[in-house]
Amino acid sequence: MSIWFEGYGCTANQGETLEMRDHANELGHAIAKDSTSAETVVLGTCTVIESTQNKMEKRISELIDQGKNVIVSGCMATADTKVLNSKFPNAPLVSPGDINGLGDLIGRGGCKPETLESPFASILPISSGCLGRCTYCATLKARGRVTSRSVNDIFFKAQYAIDSGSKELLLTSQDNGAFGADTGSSLENLLMELSHLDGEFRLRVGMLNPMLVAGRSHEMAKAWGDSRTYKFMHLPIQSGSQKILDSMVRDHTVGEFWEVVNVFRDYYPEMMIITDIITGFPGETDEDHHKTISLLNELSPDLVNVTRFSPRKGTPASRYKRINGRIVKKRSRELTILRKELGAKSFRRFVGRKTSILTVENQKRGSTLCRDDNYRPIILMEELPLGEFYDVEIIDSEYGFMTAILV
């Protein structure tokens, strides 16, 4: 059987989809080059907001209309089981990351396992599930409580990826800060172990919720100390208003968010910081909105992901009274303008500096996307081999990236 794998949404979901692909290959199934040539398509779905779920359902319909056998995995397989069974009764479901469940469905194939091309960037899922109680989020329904992989398993997979040619290791989960909560380990312990990996590479730690970093910020920051670890942090705040954070049941205060930011910036003054904002959450007033604006101005992040509140079926927040759509749209527009101003301002301060970079992607002919040691994107206007380290001088900047030349 020839199978094509598509992963959507977060890096964790995409990483689990790749693991399913590798397992199918080991079972002797041919890995198709695209969905058109495949007999079966496995979709690692995302259901983070309503529009995303609609796109997933549209994609399933397209593939079924093309005569494909469709297997649905990812978050929709557990969060929206009834909907999927009703709309697509002939599409079997596999829980997120359940490679054995996939194996039971597809059985053994008759092909010799291929040597799959090693990705330049290897996604390493470290856990699944979360410890949060957020009233707007369907992750707990889709993924359950946190289940961590063993430190040894992650270490050996990471070393294998490096030995196979990977130059970037992306640690991922629904909340990296929750790693080890079920096993007596911790993210700090994992990072200290990974600091003993052999090779020249860069390691990126994915999203962390403030509630699981506050109170251990110094220990956590020290764990970023390996020079090969990107000085990068994705720390969602969601709102600058404590009232809204409490309504969201984020389980942290605005003050605890600042504790984490300030400690990490003490250790790594030029650390790249990304945060997330949900605008238009039920009950958000103009005052709450302006508190978010004030927080962002003080934080001056490199990037802000702005999302309008989208009720997810079955979550407590889906029953809350919603704000007028015109007001939400206006607030979203204001935040979008602000995030671009702040991002451009943050990148502008690096113009004229020299730094080291890793080449990561040839996006357009005649240019190369690179990352500096803080994970900031830098464009070189020439094609260079990927996975190589260079010294550059930054000569210009815009919102979202900087431009540099080789030195």
Among 250, 341, 257, 246, smallest CA distance to 288 is for: 246
What separation in angstroms does the CA of 73 have from each of 4, 76, 123, 127? Answer: 13, 7, 18, 17
The pLDDT value given to residue 192: 97
CA dihedral 386, 387, 390, 396 (to 10 degrees): 60
Q: What is the pLDDT of residues 132-190, one digit of tens each?
A: 999 999 887 778 889 999 999 999 999 989 998 999 999 999 999 999 999 999 999 99
Q: Is the pLDDT of residue 116 over 70?
A: no
> Dihedrals φ, ψ of 291, to 5°?
-65, -35
Q: Is the backbone of residue 107 left (phi > 0), alpha (psi -120 to 50) or beta? A: left
Quote the strand ranges of 166-271, DSSP E: 168-172, 202-205, 232-234
* Tokens of residue 56, six digits: 């997933």
Angle in degrees, CA 376, 380, 383, rounded to 5 = 125
Domains and CATH numbers, the chain: 2-106 (3.40.50.12160), 121-348 (3.80.30.20), 354-406 (2.40.50.140)
pLDDT band at residue 357 using 50, 70 and 90 as cut-offs = very high
The pLDDT value given to residue 66: 94
What separation in angstroms does the CA of 382 have from each of 118, 347, 385, 395? Answer: 24, 21, 10, 14
pLDDT band at residue 115 using 50, 70 and 90 as cut-offs = low
pLDDT band at residue 212 using 50, 70 and 90 as cut-offs = very high
| CA R_g for the chain | 22
Q: Is the pLDDT of residue 113 over 80?
A: no
The DSSP string of 88-135 is -TTS-B--TT-HHHHHHHH---SSPPP-PPPPSEEEEE-EESBS---T
The pLDDT value given to residue 13: 84
> Dihedrals φ, ψ of 64, to 5°?
-65, -40
Cβ-contact 213, 222 below 8 angstroms: no
The pLDDT value given to residue 103: 86
CA dihedral 22, 24, 29, 30 (to 10 degrees): -40
Angle in degrees, CA 342, 346, 348, rounded to 5 = 115
3-state secondary structure of 220: helix
* Cα four-point dihedral sign 119, 121, 378, 398: positive
pLDDT band at residue 48 using 50, 70 and 90 as cut-offs = confident
Cβ-contact 343, 375 below 8 angstroms: no
What separation in angstroms does the CA of 34 have from each of 39, 41, 88, 390? Answer: 10, 9, 22, 34
- Point out which residues pair with 276 in neighbouring strands: 305
- Residue 258: other Cβ atoms inside 10 A: 16
Q: Between the ranges 89-93, 100-104, 129-133, 226-230, where is the mean pLDDT highest? A: 226-230
**pTM for this model (two decimals):** 0.86
Cβ-contact 103, 217 below 8 angstroms: no
- Residue 285: other Cβ atoms inside 10 A: 13
The fraction of the chain above a pLDDT of 70, given in percent, is 98
pLDDT band at residue 109 using 50, 70 and 90 as cut-offs = confident
Helices marked H in 121-241 — which ranges?
Answer: 139-143, 151-163, 187-194, 217-223
Amino acid at 141: K
The pLDDT value given to residue 141: 79
